Structure 1
Amino acid sequence: MLDHCSISHKGGVVLWSRSFTPAASHTAASSASPVNSLVREALIEGRSSDGKYEKDGYAVKWTFVNDLELIFVVAYQRILQLTYVEDLLNALKTLFIKLFQPFLTTFVASLHVTTTVKLSASTDTHSSWNFAKAFDGWDAVFDKLLRGLEDKAAQERRTRSGHVIRPMVEVTPPEEDINIVPSQSSDNVLDQEQIARNVQALKNRLRGRGGPPGRRGRGRADVENGRDSLPGSDSETPSKSKRKAKAQRKWGDEAPTESDMASLDFSYDSSTSDSHIAPPVDLSALVDNGSLGTRTQDGLYEVRDWEFAQSQGGKSADDVIAEVLKKSGQEPPKPSSGSLGALGSIFARLTGSKVLTEEDLKPVLEAMKQHLMKKNVAKEISDKICEDVGQSLVGKKVGGFQTTNSAVRQALANSITRILTPKTSTDLLLSIRTKLSAPVAASQQRQPYSITFVGVNGVGKSTNLSKVCFWLIQNGFRVLIAACDTFRSGAVEQLRVHVRNLGMLGVDGATNSKGRVELYERGYGKDAAGIAKEAISYARDNDFDVVLIDTAGRMQDNEPLMRALAKLVATNNPDKIIFVGEALVGNEAVDQLTKFDRALRDFSAASGGQERGIDGMLVTKWDTVDDKVGAALSMTYVTGQPIIFVGCGQTYTDLRQLRVGNVVQAILSD
């Protein structure tokens, strides 16, 4: 049974609606209704474009009529799984337009006369237009249509039920047929006995005296019987059955001295006078002066923006597209037309003034989907973007090749921009300064700002954490790095080297800034959540401003490790949880982010803390993908959270901010 059905204009005017239960009527009128959530999250923010939306136990489906700017919405309880909703939406759209098209055309035209008329129509619609009189008789048409579809669905259910029950009765064998089932042949019995003997022989081999489990040799029973463990294996000589124990290597009677250990330490160059003193570090190799950020008028250090034109050797996207078209013998489009490069040839068939249909757009959208996937956009995200673009263009009237080209490009650019536009602030510096400047009670101490870096193995969490640390030091903050990767060998030593280098770099070239960065570590094999808690307490007692928490890499499907990470989050409640991912991944980015975010939310709430998910992303290896920047689109679409930084090199200055316009330009280029 349906809960709600409505027909609205995109400007917000409800032309007709029907609620089938009192609860549905109350819900539809509230601000938290699934229909209002649909408009806010799916239609405005572009979070869903497949014609179906789920919220608070309700399933909402919708369809558009673009030329009249109408939205047809049907809501029902998700558990019912109604099969006739698609047919109902299509029939509603067809009948409503057929019956009331003159009135609808006049109404829509009046909304676009002037801005004043549009505002008055949206604020005082009922006094200007009598929809009840205009749509007189529509309720009866709707009731008849709904009854017909419900009766048809019920008949189909009864038919399917009859087909299911009949074969179940027929396939039951008669009782007398059970007695004539052929018995197992003697060959099958022998095979089973042979298999049992082989399994027992394998167990004997694994328990044999010749060595540890799995080591090649004969089991005890086989040695005593003078035959091999497994049938068909090569026979061994009797001399090999008795193996001589390996002699223990003698290392000396006393423990090694410090001088002995120093002679075996090859960590540094042997030419230095003291092997325990690290040689001087080439500071120029740690900082790329060409990648240094800039100082604002307020003295703040900002990292550079990633620019697509620079990655293309100084050429803009339009220049690259023009070169591609020239090589293929085509005339380059004018800059104002906004070509899609190789996709432009598909628009050639859409000439003349016409209203775009689904058949017209089908080849264009398919080529667009392939283009997005070549840019490393995940397949399901490409599908949804193309569906969104198609829905916004069907019914639009265009004229000429350039107009069609511009309309499709603009629709695609709008969809990508809507997805990439952050819903929360990306100014991490402002967030840190706000917390540190907030007043605290006299009996309390100021809490440091804490950031936890999470992600899968090998994406570069520790390296990019150090880049963020350099950025914070340049802005005058004291930073404590917590070594909470207590599993990977060398993880603590890696951070120790970074802290040493960052301490020597200082601020604006000044040396001896060791007091600005410090490492908090407790070795390996310890509880990461406990180390993070101790580090935050240490930072609070020693006036550190920011705590950067480095965690061990883990796969998103490893539930025990994800529970341990959620425990760290629930115990310490960091201010930011940043997911570190690679720019090289496509579909894998969606799987990683979805499972990381869901596991953190579920397990952190189960651990007694508040539900926490991913707050932002840092994408590494950005310099390796050129214009294939679709991973940014996939990651932002999945979580709705912004990409705070991208890493694009090996030095501490190789950190960039990501601007929406540059990403859109790179994705639309060829």
Structure 2
Amino acid sequence: MLDHCSISHKGGIVLWSRSFTPAASQLASSAASPVNSLIRDALIEGKNAEDHYEKDGYAVRWTFFNELELIFVVAYQRILQLTYVEDLLAAVKSVFVKLFEPFLRSFVKSLHSINAASKVIPAGASASWDFAQAFKDWDQMFDKLLKNFEDKAAQERRSRNKSTIQRIIEDTTPPSDDPSTLPSQSGDDAMDEQKIARNVQALKTRLRGRGGRRVSGRGGTLRFDSGGGRDSHPGSDSDSPAAAKKKKTKSGRKWGDEVPTEGDMASLDYSSDKPDGSNPALPSKVDVSALVDRGSLGTRTVDGMYEVKDWEFNENGEKEDMDRFISQALDSVSLKEKGKASTGTFGSSFGSLFARLTGSKTLTEEDLKSVLEGMKQHLMKKNVAKEIAEKVCEGVGESLIGQKVGGFQTTSAAFRSALATSIRRILTPKTSTDLLLSIRTKLSSPLPSTQQRMPYSITFVGVNGVGKSTNLSKVCFWLIQNGMKVLIAACDTFRSGAVEQLRVHVRNLSMLGPDGPTGSKGQVELYERGYGKDAAGIAKEAIAYARDNNFDVVLIDTAGRMQDNEPLMRALAKLVAVNSPDKILFVGEALVGNEAIDQLTKFDRALKDFSAASGTRKERGIDGMLVTKWDTVDDKVGAALSMTYVTGQPIVFVGCGQTYTDLRQLRVENVVEAILSD
């Protein structure tokens, strides 16, 4: 059943509401209610990743009626998974508007006339309106609608359960393995030997398709081969010594007839530095200039803080702006008038809509259908995941339907504003992206004299091969340049060479201190315990070591894992629950497109579910993203939109090269510009 239903004006005035349980009534009146969270997170910030919103065990669905600026909201317990909610919302919107349209239009008109200049609705603007009297018949009508949908859902559920039970009965009637159930051989119904043989063969065939089973009988055991091979029993030829001799055995590999010499062993020794510096795998002298790109170095502020460079769209200076985009739409209109306009592109769809708008008009869903489809194709070409592109287009359409426009130019400006605003609202972070400020705040906060200061810890997670270790080292370089003392915890105890890779990075980074290549070995260290160990335990030991040795930051490297591997995701959640890192950064590729949604959603959900199940007081999900291989996508930066849309968390950095200086931070306007470019 439902927990809460409400009808509100976009200005924040509640016209009608109903809570179905005491708990829902108390929750609806609190600041932490799912409806208030919906308005803040989904409607204002526009970061709803699904077609519904989830908060504190509740699922919230909504729909708009833009012409009268109404919002229809329904909340229910997420575990119920009510299937009729969308149809109920559509019916409630249709019936409510039809019944009370004159009153609603008068109410909305009065709100607009209160403060037309500032468009701010005073807190007491609704005091003069008696909503209880105006909507006195609505409660009864709503009850009828709700009962109708609940009865229909219950009937469908009973019908579905009945058909499921019947199908299970038909599909799961097994052959009888009990000899006592076979027909008696006495009397007229006694079976001859041929019939018995046919029954046994049929039973073998059926069991062969079920993966192979043994059937005990009076004469011993029949072994049915699931792979279609020969049936056998303990006395068959397949178990005889002669058959065993025919089986092939694996022969040992021959490596040579002579014992390797000390010289041969030394040439194959890559495990440690040699005194003479002759180890080809670990050269004694590293070219520091190859570790940094001077053109990619960040800048220092007046207070000495090192900031990485901003990523800029089309850094060669040939930036495309929205005015060019609109001019292309105008060109497409003139082409259409000559009968030469093409279809299927964003510009042509945009122009075909404007060509029909010759005067003042109220936009309808039919008017926007073609241009929204063109917009979706445009976003998908920019590497935005299909589901996210559809949601963005739906949001733009909902904001435009019912608006009055005055011809081509006005519609062009309204559409451009709605599209840019939607993308900007999604990309604008709701939490701070200033990681350095968070670190300094924790390190400078006052502590009791009996308590030791804990270092700031960051955990890097993600799938295999996205570049977690490499980009962790880039973040470490940035921290070293800001005077931080960093400990890298090697918690990838599975992948061969993972510890050695971090060891090489630590050796290189120790030569790149805040004052240049001056050999600052005390600035960065590696904490490792080899392979095959518990990653959560190693991370805990590393944090304790960093605390005792006055390290500022601990960077925790984890093994890559696929998002569908439940045992590995549980192990990762255990590491998070045991060590409570200050930041969990998901490392993903800029090229993955639709796969980014699946990866990020499942990582975030698995961390929240498994960390909460481990006994911690609250869920821990992804706190931010680091997107790698950003230099390979040019203007196809849709992965940033997809990832931010899914979690509502910011992209802290993007990696765009192979040196330690190839780290960038994203500015929202630059990403918006790249997505809107043609």
Residues 49, 330 of structure 1: alpha-carbon distance in 2 compared, 3 angstrom cutoff: farther
The equivalent position to 1:264 in structure 2, one of 260, 265, 268, is 268
Does residue 149 (structure 1) correspond to residue 145 (structure 2)? The answer is yes
1:354-377 superposed Cα distances (whole Å, 9 cap, x missing partner): 000111111111221122122111
Q: Identify the residue that residue 242 of structure 2 maps to in structure 1.
A: 224
Q: Identify the residue that residue 103 of structure 1 maps to in structure 2.
A: 106
SS at match of 1:402: helix
1:328 Cα offset (Å): 7.7
Distance between the aligned counterparts of 2:13 and 2:331, measured in 1? 51
SS at match of 1:309: coil
Q: Identify the residue that residue 452 of structure 2 maps to in structure 1.
A: 445
Q: Identify the residue that residue 467 of structure 2 maps to in structure 1.
A: 460
1:137 Cα offset (Å): 5.1
Does 32-41 or 649-658 show the bigger shift?
Answer: 32-41
Q: TM-score, normalised by structure 2?
A: 0.81
1:206-251 superposed Cα distances (whole Å, 9 cap, x missing partner): x9xxxxxxxxxx99547837xxx9xxxxxxxx9x878796586566
Distance between the aligned counterparts of 2:528 and 2:2, measured in 1? 59
Distance between the aligned counterparts of 1:438 and 1:162, measured in 2? 60
Does 439-448 or 193-202 show the bigger shift?
Answer: 193-202
The equivalent position to 1:633 in structure 2, one of 641, 648, 651, is 641
Q: Identify the residue that residue 481 of structure 1 maps to in structure 2.
A: 488
Q: Identify the residue that residue 139 of structure 1 maps to in structure 2.
A: 136
1:67-125 superposed Cα distances (whole Å, 9 cap, x missing partner): 3323334445663837352343233343245332552353133134344xx65x52222
1:585-634 superposed Cα distances (whole Å, 9 cap, x missing partner): 11211111111112222222333344321111100000111111111111
Instruction: Give the aligned residue type for 1:616.
Output: G
Alignment of 1:26-41 (within 5 A): 26-41=26-41
Distance between the aligned counterparts of 2:463 and 2:436, measured in 1? 26
Distance between the aligned counterparts of 1:268 and 1:10, measured in 2? 67
Q: Identify the residue that residue 521 of structure 1 maps to in structure 2.
A: 528
Query: Does structure 1 conserve the Cα–Cα contact (< 8 Å) formed by 2:278 and 2:284?
Result: no
Instruction: Give the aligned residue type for 1:516.
Output: Q
Distance between the aligned counterparts of 1:422 and 1:559, measured in 2? 30
Q: Identify the residue that residue 235 of structure 1 maps to in structure 2.
A: none
Does residue 293 (structure 1) correspond to residue 298 (structure 2)? The answer is yes
Q: Structure 1: 5+ residue runs without aligned partners?
A: 174-178, 208-217, 230-237, 332-338
Query: Does structure 1 conserve the Cα–Cα contact (< 8 Å) formed by 2:349 and 2:371?
Result: yes
Distance between the aligned counterparts of 2:312 and 2:195, measured in 1? 74
SS at match of 1:123: coil
Query: Does structure 2 conserve the Cα–Cα contact (< 8 Å) formed by 1:74 and 1:85?
Result: no
Q: Identify the residue that residue 375 of structure 1 maps to in structure 2.
A: 382
Q: Identify the residue that residue 578 of structure 2 maps to in structure 1.
A: 571
Distance between the aligned counterparts of 2:291 and 2:599, measured in 1? 31
Does residue 600 (structure 1) correspond to residue 607 (structure 2)? The answer is yes
SS at match of 2:136: helix
Distance between the aligned counterparts of 1:356 and 1:596, measured in 2? 40
1:167-220 superposed Cα distances (whole Å, 9 cap, x missing partner): 9999999xxxxx99xx99977865765866755996999x9xxxxxxxxxx995
Q: Identify the residue that residue 81 of structure 1 maps to in structure 2.
A: 82
Does residue 274 (structure 1) correspond to residue 274 (structure 2)? The answer is no
1:466 Cα offset (Å): 0.6
Distance between the aligned counterparts of 1:402 and 1:422, measured in 2? 32
Instruction: Give the aligned residue type for 1:287.
Output: V
SS at match of 1:224: helix
Instruction: Give the aligned residue type for 2:652.
Output: I
Q: Identify the residue that residue 42 of structure 2 maps to in structure 1.
A: 42
Residues 268, 325 of structure 1: alpha-carbon distance in 2 compared, 3 angstrom cutoff: farther
Q: Structure 2: 5+ residue runs without aligned partners?
A: 171-182, 184-188, 209-222, 336-344
1:522 Cα offset (Å): 1.6
Distance between the aligned counterparts of 2:353 and 2:365, measured in 1? 14
The equivalent position to 2:594 in structure 1, one of 587, 590, 606, is 587
Does 84-93 or 322-331 show the bigger shift?
Answer: 322-331
Residues 51, 484 of structure 1: alpha-carbon distance in 2 compared, 3 angstrom cutoff: closer
Query: Does structure 2 conserve the Cα–Cα contact (< 8 Å) formed by 1:5 and 1:17?
Result: yes
Query: Does structure 1 conserve the Cα–Cα contact (< 8 Å) formed by 2:65 and 2:93?
Result: no
Instruction: Give the aligned residue type for 1:261.
Output: M
1:282 Cα offset (Å): 2.2
1:358-406 superposed Cα distances (whole Å, 9 cap, x missing partner): 1111111122112212211122212221111111111000112122122
Instruction: Give the aligned residue type for 1:608.
Output: G
Identity %: 62
Instruction: Give the aligned residue type for 1:480.
Output: L
Alignment of 1:159-198 (within 5 A): 190=201
SS at match of 2:605: helix
Q: TM-score, normalised by structure 1?
A: 0.82
Q: Identify the residue that residue 214 of structure 2 maps to in structure 1.
A: none
SS at match of 2:563: coil
The CA RMSD measured in Å over matched residues stands at 4.1
